[in-house]
């Protein structure tokens, strides 16, 4: 299966849910210190998400081409994806990691009656 975070995010959405905005952070356990940026462990030399696009609110059409060569779901070890927040008309979605194993998690965008989950464990 090819890596494609965009397709994974589309599959994670509910049928009546629309993606509104996305923001990317660092790769894996990396950081985005503006004075001393260095690619995260295992991040490709040709950065899928350029540094100047990180920390910037993007529309879905701006984000989609940046999400074609990596995936949200990964095994243990250093995470192999970007820290991400995605806003929809219903939820806020983010990457949860437990010892490097990554997956998507979410919470309702607005206060509502719901059963909270415990991601990451």
Question: Is residue 36 very low, low, confident or very high in pLDDT (cuts 50, 70, 90)?
Answer: low
Question: Is residue 45 very low, low, confident or very high in pLDDT (cuts 50, 70, 90)?
Answer: confident
Separation CA 82–CA 32 (nearest Å): 11
- Of 93 and 41, the one with more pLDDT: 93
Strands (E), the chain: 19-27, 82-88, 91-98, 101-108
Four-CA torsion 69, 82, 84, 34, nearest 10 degrees:
-130
Mark residue 90 as left, alpha or beta (left: phi above 0; alpha: psi -120 to 50; beta: remaining): alpha
- 37 within domain boundaries: yes
- 45 within domain boundaries: yes
Centroid of chain to Cα 60: 13
Residue 1: per-residue pLDDT:
46
Evaluate whether 54 touches 26 at the Cβ level (below 8 Å): yes
For the chain, the first-to-last Cα distance in angstroms comes to 26
Domain that holds residue 17: 5-108
Share above pLDDT 90 across residues of the chain, in percent, rounded to a whole number: 65
Question: Is residue 2 very low, low, confident or very high in pLDDT (cuts 50, 70, 90)?
Answer: low
Is 112's pLDDT higher than 60?
yes
Residue 34: per-residue pLDDT:
60
- 55 within domain boundaries: yes
Separation CA 57–CA 59 (nearest Å): 7
Looking at the structure of the chain, the number of domains it has is 1
pTM over 0.75: yes
- 39 within domain boundaries: yes
Separation CA 73–CA 62 (nearest Å): 21
- 114 within domain boundaries: no
């Amino acid at each position: 299966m090819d890596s494609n975070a965009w397709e994974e995010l589309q599959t994670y959405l509910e049928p009546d849910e629309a993606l509104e905005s996305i923001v990317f952070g660092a790769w894996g356990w990396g950081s985005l210190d503006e004075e001393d940026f260095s690619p995260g462990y295992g991040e490709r030399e040709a950065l899928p998400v350029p540094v100047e696009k990180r920390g910037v609110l993007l529309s879905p059409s701006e984000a989609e081409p940046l999400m074609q060569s990596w995936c949200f779901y990964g095994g243990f070890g250093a995470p192999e994806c970007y820290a991400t927040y995605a806003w929809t008309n219903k939820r806020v979605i983010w990457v949860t990691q437990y010892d490097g194993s990554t997956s998507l998690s979410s919470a309702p965008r607005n206060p509502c009656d719901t059963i909270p989950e415990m991601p990451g464990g």
